[in-house]
Amino acid sequence: MASPAPVTVAPVRSWSDLRAFVDLPYRLHAGTPWVPPLRLERYAFLSRRLNAFFSHGRALYLLARRGGAVVGRLSVQVDEAFNAFHDSAWAGFGFLELEDDPEILPALLGPAEAWARARGCDRLVGPMDFTMNDESGVLVEGHDRRPLVRQPWHPPRYEQHCEQAGLVKAMDLLSWALDVSDRDRVKPALWRIAERARTVHGVTVRPMSRLHLRRELEAFADIYNSAWSGNWGFVPYGKADLDAYAAELQLVYSPGWFMVAELAGEPIAMAITVMDVNQVLAKMGGRLLPLGWWHFLRRHRTVDQVRVGFLGVKPQYEMTGAAALLYQHHYDLAERTPLHGGEAGWILETNRGMNRGLEAMGGEVVKRYRLYERRL
């Protein structure tokens, strides 16, 4: 009996290579809870000309083949903004997809590590597509649940292949399920803290303006870069990132769910909660034609859940209770809109404050994503 052909790995060099890179998960995950993204969006996201990541980073795309057939893919990237902020020399890897074959991931990691070492990196961390603000981690719990917008999905074997390849755990990310229409599960202390925020400290909450969303994101970046700067894996937002983020958020905007907490007119906290357009994408099958565009235009009639993507307070204002007031506004909105449930996250497993807050809201951890690392 002839032995199987060896696994070979080469960079993406041509249009046909890029098409194979994009198409692989559509083949591997058909019939699973995975939600196919729009193919056009994936090509744009991978474009060095269109993705804001490439204003402060660089990347290499790799394809693994066995006997001419594509069996795996991986990116390796360096985020210069991340390394400058943290005074580090990390490289990331992402876009992890592979068939159930223990030889594929080691074959992909070899050239990825060589590329990273050649650029002075001393650690490889991932998966992340391309940063921690994008899809991150390998799904290790919650495989039976459909991913929400910008959440990855992987079969259980991916965790096994990462461990077999010698990668070690760096950090877990948690996603909490919430029913923000059910106030009975919330600990009463949260409502008391929210009331003090309003009556004692004078904190107010207003919705972000959709018309002036890009300007609103300047305040978001100020709060985000302050509130999250001490977190593991933090990536600062720059101008190009905010320009791109504003365009993305227009597609998932739902009135009221982007909110700012202010004290004497100064933004001190914010929450960006997006409608789960994956409920629409699941009907579109990765394509706008022939009827995908119709489903997307009617998304407000389809979507009934949200993802709390960002909720943070400037450190010097944490004792005002602004976070509790933002939580309360989520419940108030849920009572008068069709969006009444969903998930909050990801949250670092080490973020005790946020995890305790979500537990106080009656949340339950339903998904866990694992980031791995290797010293180079």
Q: Convert the pLDDT of each residue in 217-234 to its tens digit.
A: 888 888 888 877 778 888
Q: List helix spans (H) across the chain.
A: 15-28, 39-46, 80-86, 104-118, 157-164, 188-199, 213-227, 239-251, 278-284, 292-297, 299-302, 322-336, 352-360
Comparing CA positions, the residue from 98, 118, 94, 115 lying closest to residue 106 is 98
pLDDT digits (tens, 9 = 90+) for 161-213: 999 999 999 999 999 998 776 777 888 888 899 999 999 999 999 998 888 88
Give the pLDDT confidence of 102-151 residue by residue, as tens digits. 999 999 999 999 999 999 999 999 999 999 889 999 999 999 999 998 99
Listed in sequence order, the residues at least 6 apart from 189 whose beta carbon sits closer than 8 Å to its beta carbon are 360
pLDDT in the model for residue 295: 43
Total Cβ atoms within 10 A of residue 122: 12
CA distance 288 to 339: 24
Let me know: does 224 contact 237? Beta carbons within 8 Å: yes
Residue 336 — φ and ψ, nearest 5°?
-125, 10
Structure confidence by residue, pLDDT tens digits, 52-91: 999 999 999 999 999 989 999 999 999 999 999 899 999 9
The dihedral over CA atoms of 84, 85, 87, 92, expressed in degrees to the nearest 10, equals -70
Alpha-carbon distance values, 256 to 109, 158, 209 (Å): 44, 38, 9
pLDDT at 290: 45
Q: What is the pTM of this model?
A: 0.91
Residue 313 or 296, more confident: 313
Residue ranges of the chain assigned to CATH 3.40.630.30:
7-172, 177-375
Confidence of residue 45 (pLDDT cuts 50, 70, 90): very high
Give tens-digit pLDDT for 249-306. Answer: 887 788 888 899 999 999 999 888 888 887 777 666 656 544 444 445 455 556 778 8
* CATH number assigned to the domain covering 177-375: 3.40.630.30
| Measured distance CA(325)–CA(290) in Å, rounded | 44
Distance, in Å, from the CA atom of 346 to the CA atom of 76, rounded to the nearest integer, reads 22
Q: Which residues pair with 267 in a beta bridge?
A: 262
For residue 176, whether the previous peptide bond is cis, meaning omega lies within 30 degrees of 0, is no
CA 234 to CA 30: how far, in whole Å? 33
Both structure tokens of 326: 């933002």
Would you state the pLDDT for residue 26? 95
- Superfamily per CATH, domain 7-172: Gcn5-related N-acetyltransferase (GNAT) (3.40.630.30)
Res 33: pLDDT: 94
Sign of CA dihedral 242, 153, 33, 17: positive
Contact by Cβ (8 Å): 349, 315? no
What are the φ/ψ torsions at residue 314 (nearest 5 degrees)?
-55, 135
Check: CB of residue 269 under 8 Å from CB of residue 317.
yes
Sequence-distant (6+) residues with CB within 8 A of 34 are 25, 147, 153
